[in-house]
C-alpha cells in the first residue's frame, strides 16, 4: 500500500487521523515485536522503518513510547515535522501497515497515576448522590483541583476485558457489610495527560510550563464500582472501588495536535485561585466525547465545560515538590455537561440507579456481564476538520470471586475465562 502524493487525499479528506493529528502508539504484527508507530488514516506508519533507527531515532524501536517521550519538546516537534515531510514525499511501502492488520499495545509504561475531579457538573452531581445532606461541592473544591492517587499497574489498553470486581459493600439500611461481586459497576469518561519530561523531587512544575513536560493526551475510562466506593471512601478517598482497572486508548494525541482545540477556560473569579494556579494565558480544550453502551450512544460529554485546566492539574500535583516521571498519567476526572445527555458516568445518567435509561431497548442502570462500553473523542484540528482520539473500549467479564469470597470451581472459572 502506497501513501503519499497519490494517497494523500484519501488520508486527509475527513479522516480524523490526517496529518494535523499524527497520534503515536505501539503496535506489532504476528511476526514482529512491539514498536512505535504513528496513525495516518487507516494505516500505522512504522516510525523506525520510515525515519530510521540511529541515534535518538533508536527510541522508535522500543516497545513503549517512554524513551521517545523523554526526549523532550524540541525533539517532539522535530519528529512531527519529519513525519509531515515524509507523508508529503510518500511513505515507503515497507513502513506502512493497515490498522486492521496490527495489534495495538499499551502505548506507554505508566509511571504514576493520578485521577482528578475537575468537572463542576460531575462533582455537583456526585456530591448530591453520595452526600445528599450536605453542600454538593466541598469547601475546597474551587480552590484547588482535587484528586487521588490511583493504581498505575492496572492501567490497561483499549480492548482489554474488565473482570467485575468483588469487594465489601454496605447499603445504609444494612447492619453490616457484605462481600460479593459489585452490583453497581460504572464507567467514567475522562481525558488523560501523559508526562514526557519528568522533574526531580522539590521542583514544582509552574502552571505556564505545562508544554515543556506533557507529551500528549489519551481517552480514559476510569471503571468504578460504586457500591465498593460508597462504603470505603470515607475518610481516605477512592481505593478498591477504582483500582481494579483503568482503560486508556492506544493512541496518544500529541499536545502539538491539540493547539487548534484550545479554548478559554470558564471563569474562575469566585473565588480566584491562588497565584500558583493562575496561568498567564489560561486554556481549556474543546474535545467532544461520546459514550457508547453496547453500540448505542448514551451520552456526549463536552470537555470544554471543565473547570480546572490540565496545566492547573499538573501545577497542583507538583506544588508540594512531588517529582514526576516519564509515563506519569493524570486524568481529568469524569467529564459531564449541564444537560442530562452529557453526563460521563452511569450513576449520573441513571440518577444513582433510581431512573433507568433505555439502552438497546432495555431499561438499564449499571453494567451487566457481557456489556461493552466504548468512549470516543474528537477535537478541532489545524486543517479545519476534526481530529480523532480513536476509542477506548472494554467488555465486562463475570466476577472471579463468589459472594462466599472463594474462587468459583475450576470448571466455572474456565467457562468465565473462555466464554
By annotation, the residues acting in catalysis are 122
CA distances 318 to 148, 171, 214, 383, 406, Å, are 13, 37, 13, 35, 41
- Minimum CB separation from Mn ion for residue 347, in Å? 12
Residue whose CB is less far from Mn ion, 57 or 115? 115
Distance CA 401, CA 235 (A): 26
Distance CA 44, CA 100 (A): 9
Residue whose CB is less far from Mn ion, 115 or 232? 115
Q: Are strands 362-364 and 284-285 parallel, antiparallel or unpaired?
A: unpaired
Residue whose CB is less far from Mn ion, 95 or 248? 248
Q: Which residues contact 374 (CB under 8 A, 6 or more apart)?
A: 291, 292, 391, 392, 393
- Minimum CB separation from Mn ion for residue 188, in Å? 4
The residue to which cell 486508548 is assigned: 249
Per the CB < 8 A criterion, the answer to whether 247 and 221 are in contact is yes
Please report, as ranges, the residues that interact with Mn ion according to CB under 5 A: 115, 188, 222
User: Which residue number is nearest to Mn ion in terms of Cβ?
Assistant: 222
Residue whose CB is less far from Mn ion, 43 or 224? 224
Q: Give the residue from 108, 32, 48 showing the smallest Cα distance to 82.
A: 48
Residue whose CB is less far from Mn ion, 115 or 348? 115
Q: Give the residue from 34, 27, 169, 22 showing the smallest Cα distance to 85.
A: 22
Distance CA 279, CA 305 (A): 18
Longest dimension (CA), the chain: 70
Residue whose CB is less far from Mn ion, 36 or 123? 123
CA distances 241 to 174, 224, 329, Å, are 19, 6, 19
The C-alpha R_g of the chain, in whole angstroms, comes to 22
Amino acid at each position: 500500500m502506497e501513501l503519499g502524493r497519490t494517497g494523500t487525499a484519501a488520508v486527509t479528506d475527513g479522516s480524523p487521523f490526517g496529518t494535523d493529528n499524527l497520534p503515536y502508539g505501539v503496535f506489532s504484527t504476528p511476526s514482529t515485536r512491539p514498536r512505535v508507530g504513528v496513525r495516518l488514516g487507516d494505516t500505522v506508519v512504522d516510525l523506525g522503518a520510515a525515519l530510521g533507527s540511529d541515534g535518538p531515532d533508536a527510541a522508535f524501536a522500543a516497545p513503549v513510547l517512554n524513551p521517545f517521550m523523554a526526549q523532550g519538546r524540541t525533539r517532539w516537534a522535530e519528529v512531527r515535522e519529519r513525519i509531515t515531510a515524509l507523508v508529503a514525499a510518500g511513505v515507503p511501502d515497507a513502513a506502512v501497515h493497515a490498522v486492521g492488520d496490527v495489534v495495538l499495545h499499551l502505548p506507554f509504561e505508566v509511571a504514576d497515576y493520578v485521577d482528578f475531579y475537575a468537572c463542576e457538573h460531575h462533582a455537583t452531581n456526585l456530591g448530591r448522590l453520595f452526600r445528599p445532606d450536605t453542600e454538593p461541592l466541598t469547601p475546597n473544591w474551587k480552590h484547588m483541583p482535587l484528586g487521588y492517587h490511583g493504581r498505575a499497574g492496572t492501567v490497561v489498553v483499549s480492548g482489554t476485558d474488565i473482570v467485575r470486581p468483588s469487594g465489601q459493600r454496605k447499603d445504609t439500611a444494612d447492619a453490616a457489610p457484605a462481600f460479593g461481586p459489585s452490583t453497581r459497576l460504572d464507567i467514567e469518561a475522562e481525558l488523560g495527560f501523559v508526562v514526557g519530561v519528568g522533574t526531580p523531587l522539590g521542583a514544582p512544575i509552574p502552571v505556564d510550563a505545562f508544554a515543556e513536560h506533557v507529551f500528549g493526551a489519551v481517552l480514559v475510562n476510569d471503571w468504578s464500582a460504586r457500591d465498593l466506593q460508597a462504603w470505603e471512601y470515607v475518610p481516605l478517598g477512592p481505593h478498591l472501588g477504582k483500582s481494579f482497572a483503568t482503560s486508556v486508548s492506544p493512541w496518544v494525541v500529541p499536545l502539538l495536535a491539540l493547539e487548534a482545540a484550545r479554548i478559554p477556560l470558564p471563569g474562575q473569579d469566585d473565588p480566584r485561585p491562588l497565584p500558583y494556579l493562575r496561568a498567564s494565558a489560561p486554556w481549556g480544550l474543546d474535545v467532544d466525547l461520546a459514550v457508547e453502551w453496547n453500540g448505542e450512544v448514551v451520552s456526549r460529554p463536552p470537555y470544554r465545560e471543565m473547570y480546572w485546566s490540565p496545566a492547573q492539574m499538573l501545577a497542583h500535583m507538583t506544588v508540594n515538590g512531588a517529582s514526576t516521571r516519564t509515563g506519569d498519567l493524570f486524568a481529568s476526572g469524569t467529564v459531564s455537561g449541564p444537560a442530562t445527555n452529557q453526563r460521563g458516568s452511569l450513576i449520573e445518567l441513571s440518577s444513582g440507579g433510581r431512573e433507568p435509561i433505555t439502552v438497546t431497548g432495555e431499561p438499564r442502570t449499571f453494567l451487566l456481564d457481557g456489556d461493552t462500553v466504548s468512549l470516543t473523542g474528537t477535537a478541532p484540528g489545524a486543517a479545519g476538520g476534526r481530529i480523532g482520539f480513536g476509542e477506548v473500549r472494554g467488555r465486562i467479564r463475570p466476577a472471579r470471586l463468589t459472594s462466599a469470597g472463594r474462587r468459583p470451581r475450576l470448571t466455572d472459572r474456565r467457562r468465565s475465562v473462555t466464554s
